[in-house]
Amino acid sequence: MIVGERKPFDEITGMLNGYKKVLILGCGTCVSVCMAGGAKEVAVLASQLRMDSGIQEKGVEIGEETIQRQCDREYIEPIVEMAKTYDVVLSMACGAGVQLLSDMLVPTPVLPALNTSFIGICEEEGVWAERCRGCGDCMLGITGGICPVARCAKTLFNGPCGGSVNGICEVSKDTPCAWQLVYDRLKALGKLESLEEIQPIRDWGPSSSGIPRGVYREDMAGVAVESEGSSK
Amino acid sequence: MTDTYEPKVIAFCCHYCTYSAADLAGSMRLEYAPNIRVVKLMCTGKVDVPLLLRAFEDGADAAFVGG
């Protein structure tokens, strides 16, 4: 899932300075699961902002709403007219949700209430960890399901480096060496021999180092338009 | 008027324990401070952050959760 964290309260109130009618819009998918931007977090932030408005005598009106996803048009469309009755929309989605919402709500401004952290997993209650950088060329099949792009500080493809000491990365004593994890996993899988294969220089073309990436599915793109046309 | 600050305390009490204790205190004619407002819940597992914040929004100075 996309993991996010709510921005500091002072930063949020700073962004909202001058607006009198604010809609807080939650997202019911990733950031809801990581307890940063779902319905409950919307209720908490709304309550805090109402109290702040009362104490500072700002007279701000706060609206609350949560939709299933802010990264899909079909979920935003039903709330567009309602959202445009506000001076500003404070989105509690990830950066993708904020951007699509901004596109669809012009001229109503959309502000981010979260910082988008990473694509990751929940390790235990209250602890999330990065697992994927979305590099576009997955090599988990040859590393036993441990990603060296996301989890090795040097993004090595033929590790470990000399900085791996007792299974710990030299960059941080709290970070396990990804390549030690790869070794241990491949050993457990009985596939250690795959480490003998030298990985070639990586083509970073599919990664995020260039222009914004996109996925085009020939079998799907335009299908909705075609079916709409045929039903008329 | 008194200058003594008397905070309004809202007490969220579990039906099965704390509320029963408060009820028993009443039966025993024991007194507790009048600035406490008791709200009975079937379980304090119901208490979450929005509920506590709502208490403060509505004028409580402190919230007490007993369960």
- How many angstroms separate the CA of residue B64 from the nearest CA in chain A? 18
Q: State the alpha helices, DSSP H only, in chain A.
A: 9-15, 30-33, 39-56, 73-76, 80-83, 95-105, 148-151, 178-189, 223-231
A51 has a chain B CB within 8 A of its CB: yes
* Pick among A9, A47, A53, A60 to test the B interface (most B CBs inside 10 A): A47
Interface of B with A (CB under 8 A): 48-50, 53-54, 56-57
Give the chain B residue nearest A51 (alpha carbons).
B57
Which residues in chain B have Cβ-Cβ distances shorter than 8 Å to A48?
53
Domain that holds residue B20: 9-66
pLDDT at A202: 87
CB B39 within 8 A of CB B10: yes
The continuous run of DSSP H or E covering B15 comes out as: none
For B50, the closest chain A residue by CA position comes to A44
Domain ranges of chain A: 2-118, 133-196
Cα gap A120→A128, rounded to integer Å: 7
Query: Would B1 be classed as within a structural domain?
Result: no
Would you state the pLDDT for residue B2?
Answer: 62
Report yes or no: A21 and A58 within 8 Å, Cβ to Cβ.
Answer: no
The pLDDT value recorded for residue A77 is 98
Is residue A48 helix, strand or coil? helix
Inter-chain contact B56–A48, Cβ cutoff 8 Å? no
In whole angstroms, give the CA distance from residue A142 to residue A193. 11
Tell whether A44 is within 8 A of chain B (Cβ).
yes
Contact between B56 and A51 using a beta-carbon 8 Å cutoff: yes
For testing contact with chain A, the best of B48, B52, B57 (most A CBs within 10 A): B57
Is residue B61 in a domain? yes
Cβ of B53 within 8 Å of Cβ of A40? The answer is: no
d(CA A128, CA A122): 4
Shortest Cα–Cα distance, B4 to chain A (Å): 22
pLDDT tens, B37-65?
A: 999 999 999 999 999 999 999 999 999 99
The helix/strand/coil state of A10 is: helix
How many structural domains is chain B composed of?
Answer: 1
CB contact under 8 A, A43 and B57: no
Task: Please name the residues in contact with A41: beta carbons below 8 A apart, sequence gap of 6 or more.
Answer: A6, A26, A31, A32, A35, A92
Whether A9 contacts chain B with CB within 8 A: no
Q: Report pLDDT for A34.
A: 96
Asked, for residue B2, whether it belongs to a domain, the answer is no
Whole-complex ipTM: 0.80
Ranges in chain A, pLDDT < 70 = 224-232
Calculate the alpha carbon distances from A145 to A48, A153, B28, B43, B55 in Å: 42, 17, 65, 43, 48
A111: left (phi over 0), alpha (psi -120 to 50) or beta: beta
Does residue B48 lie in a domain region?
yes
Q: Which residues in chain B are closer than 8 Å to A54, comparing Cβ atoms?
A: 57
Contacts 24+ apart (CB under 8 A), A50-57: A50/B57, A51/B53, A51/B56, A51/B57, A52/A9, A52/A13, A54/B57
Protein fold of A2-118: Rossmann fold (3.40.50)
How far apart CA A70 and CA A226 sit, in angstroms, is 25
| Residue B9: predicted pLDDT | 97
pLDDT by residue (tens digit) across B8-45? 999 999 999 999 999 999 899 998 888 999 999 999 99
- 3-state secondary structure at position A23: strand
- Name A228's Cβ contacts closer than 8 Å, sequence gap at least 6: none
